[in-house]
Structure 1
Amino acid sequence: MKKLTGGYSLRRPVLHEVSITVNPGEMVGLIGLNGAGKSTAIKHILGLMVPQSGEVRIAGVTLEENRDRYRSSSAYVPEQPSLFPNLTVKEHLEWTAMAYDLNKGSAIARMDELAQTFRMSEAMNALPDTLSKGMKQKVMLMNALLVSPPLLIIDEPFLGLDPLAIRGLLTSLEEVRAGGSAILLSSHILPALERRANRLVVLHRGRIIAEGSPQAVKLQAGCTEPDSTLDDAFEELVAAAEGGTLRA
């Protein structure tokens, strides 16, 4: 995403010249208050909204240049699970493997690995209506991780997951990142991003107010104490953006 301005209205754009780069093998955390523009940025990346200015490229192409390549180069996990009511967990994974033209043998082996990682082996033949919200979220994550596309976009992945599932997710994301995929992860759970993300982008009212490694963002916020956290830095950055001043 390069100098993207966009939103729902030409008169009142939500995003203002926002540039976000996610390199292969890198996890970038997208953070901000509700209404900061995170969801709008994701919708532009997914091609669901047309930029007013600027551009979005995935795997080197824009949506207009090569629609098929653009769409097949990313996978998206929304905050709210959305599953087909008449497909079992296993059938969801099989459908995804077919849609992305994955090797059948490799896909089956990967399905088994993901089922064990997320403790879903006994639920593979279950329908969505019989699953809890957390289990539905696991199904969404399993489908995205099965594909391991060039770009993986995940919106609030930790909501509804139990501690073991969170650990399994983070382990799986490390594997995906090691395999060369780029990961854009939007979350309010800042401690997890502080430990795992290579870089952070802090959005506030549609503008980037800080970016860089977790340590660099803390320094930009003036949080230099050894025990300062990313939560502390985020609070300082928002306060400064709303008219306060960064602490010395």
Structure 2
Amino acid sequence: MDSILRIEGLYGGYFPHKPVLKNVTFDVRQGEMVGLIGLNGAGKSTTIKHILGLLQPQKGEIRVRGLTLKEDPEPYRSAFAFVPESPELYEELTIREHLELTARAYGLKEAEWERRMERLLGTFRMKEKLGSFSGHLSKGMKQKVMIMNAFLVEPPLYIIDEPFLGLDPLGIRSLLDLMVEMKRQGASFLISSHILSTIERYCDRFVVLHQGEIAAQGPLEQILEAAGLRQGTLDDAFCRLVAGGGSPA
């Protein structure tokens, strides 16, 4: 399978000569879900910020659909959608205006984004809130708006940071079902989450970050092997790896 996202030898962080990330290398292939997991401070958010272009690599490179951000910024950025951990919305815009703004930014035709919008509103039970301003929404509803904005544009790659925080059980199920559907259509996902039991069921491969380095990566069987386990869950392997019981890979 072709790599939609490729990170090669990435060193980076917030201060020169003090990298948080050290030689991080992994990819996300077409039609694949990859779980990015680690303790708080392991480097997950720093990795995502480098992919988004909010931080510049100190060494190494990041390619989305074969392009670096410097080579061609517009197709690089338009190839993915990002759902942050904390929803960030414009208080003076309604839900509909947020979705329309996103659609116009990505160059979607009105008939197409209207059709997609209606479907997403139904999926997340938000039709009655379409005219509401974001300042009047609960945190969970704001998160649903962020998710709808990402899925409205149907990019090749979704980058999702802690997607389940603030969502009610039906919202979580709706999101998971939507992710599975888009994956079947060929979309790729990089998902950062602490809810290991959930991503174990849905992700094809995993990248375990620990203190800015990759402690293990691959399907569950390889993660277990790296942790020195013959069998078990992702949680079992993760705890063993970050507690120092596994060997770096």
Identical residues among aligned pairs (%): 56
Aligned residue in 1 for 2:227? 221
CA contact (8 A) 1:3 1:19 kept: yes
**Mapping 1:124-203, distance limit 5 Å:** 124-203=130-209
Structure 1 unmatched runs, 5+: none
Aligned residue in 1 for 2:218? 212
Aligned residue in 2 for 1:30? 36
| CA RMSD of superposed structures (Å) | 1.2
Deviates more, 1:58-67 or 1:171-180: 171-180
CA contact (8 A) 2:228 2:246 kept: no
Shift of 1:91: 1.2
TM-score for the superposition, normalised by structure 2: 0.93
Aligned residue in 2 for 1:98? 104
Aligned residue in 2 for 1:237? 241
- CA deviations over 1:111-160 (Å, ceiling 9, x no partner): 11111111111111111111100110000000001111121101000001
Structure 2 unmatched runs, 5+: 1-6
- CA deviations over 1:186-215 (Å, ceiling 9, x no partner): 000101110000110000000000111123
CA contact (8 A) 1:31 1:201 kept: yes
Is the partner of 1:218 in helix, strand or coil?
A: helix
CA contact (8 A) 1:197 1:214 kept: no
Give the Cα–Cα distance (whole angstroms) in 1 for the partners of residues 129 and 227 of structure 2. Answer: 45
Give the Cα–Cα distance (whole angstroms) in 1 for the partners of residues 140 and 225 of structure 2. Answer: 35
CA contact (8 A) 2:159 2:189 kept: yes
CA contact (8 A) 2:227 2:246 kept: no
Is the partner of 1:16 in helix, strand or coil?
A: strand
CA contact (8 A) 1:85 1:127 kept: yes
CA contact (8 A) 1:14 1:206 kept: yes
Would you say 1:45 and 2:63 are equivalent positions?
no
CA contact (8 A) 2:11 2:59 kept: yes
Is the partner of 1:22 in helix, strand or coil?
A: strand
Shift of 1:245: 5.6
Would you say 1:114 and 2:117 are equivalent positions?
no
More strand by share: 2
Give the Cα–Cα distance (whole angstroms) in 1 for the partners of residues 54 and 151 of structure 2. Answer: 22
CA contact (8 A) 2:10 2:23 kept: yes
Would you say 1:71 and 2:77 are equivalent positions?
yes
Give the Cα–Cα distance (whole angstroms) in 2 for the partners of residues 80 and 192 of structure 1. Answer: 20
Of residues 82, 85, 94, the one that matches 2:91 is 85
CA contact (8 A) 1:37 1:204 kept: yes
